[in-house]
Amino acid sequence: MPLEEYNKKRDFKQTSEPAGEEKSSKGKLKFVVQRHAASHLHYDFRLEMEGVLKSWAVPKGPSLNPADKRLAMMVEDHPFSYRTFEGSIPEGNYGAGEVEIWDEGTYEPLEKTEGKSDDLIMRAELHKESLKFRLHGKKLKGEFALVKIKNNTEGNAWLLIKHKDEYATDSYDAEENTDPDSKVSAYLEEKSGKKKALKSRK
C-alpha cells in the first residue's frame, strides 16, 4: 500500500492530519508546497500522482533562479487530501510543528504523449528518476525538473531545478516571498524567543 508508511508514522487520535486514503482529483494534476516549521524549517513539495501526493522535503525552499539547484529529499507518499492541510502538529508526534500552504496550483508534464494521460507520463518519468514539468501556481510558474542524485548514500536525494524561461529570475528567496505575519512565521519567532530566553538564563 502506497500510504502504509504515512499511516504508520501518525497517531490520528492526536494529530488533525488526514488519514491516508488513495484518491485522485478530476481534471488537471495538482501540486502544493507547504511551509513546515518542525525541528527545522523546510518546504514540502508535493505532486499529485497515482492517487497520492509524491513528496519531497526542500530545506531552502523552491527557487525561480535556474542557478539554484535545491536539494529535495524524497519522503513517504502523502494522501491527496493532505493538499489542503494547514495547522499544528502536536509535540511528540511525527513532524511536530506548524504547517501552512505556501503555494498551490496545477501542473503538467513538459512532454506530452498522444494516448497517455498526464498521470501516466509522470509515473513513467518518476520511474526513470527524472521528472520535467510545468507548474501553474501563484508563486511558482513555468518549467521545472526533479532529478535524482545518482550514487547518493541515502538513496532519496533529488535536485529541484528551475528551467530558463520567461518566469526565471537571477535571484529568489522563498522566505522573502512569504507572509511575515503567517502562523508559521509567528511560530518561528516565538520559538526563537524561547531559545534566546533559555540562553540568557545560562
Over residues 26-74, the pLDDT tens digits come to: 789 999 999 999 989 999 999 999 999 999 999 999 999 999 999 999 9
Confidence at residue 143, expressed as pLDDT on a 0 to 100 scale: 98
- pLDDT digits over 78-101, tens only? 999 999 999 999 999 999 999 999
Residue percentage of the chain with pLDDT more than 70: 94
pLDDT greater than 50 at residue 198: no
Residue percentage of the chain with pLDDT more than 90: 77
Higher pLDDT, 140 or 177: 140
Whole-model pTM: value is 0.91
SS (H, E, C) the chain: CCCHHHHHCCCCCCCCCCCCCCCCCCCCEEEEEEEEECCCEEEEEEEEECCEEEEEEECCCCCCCCCCEEEEEEEEEEEHHHHHCCEEECCCCCCCEEEEEEEEEEEEECCCCCCCCHHHHHHHHHHHCEEEEEEEECCCEEEEEEEECCCCCCCCEEEEEECCCCCCCCCCCCHHHCCCCCHHHHHHHHHHHHHHHHHHHC
- pLDDT digits over 145-163, tens only? 999 999 877 779 999 999 9
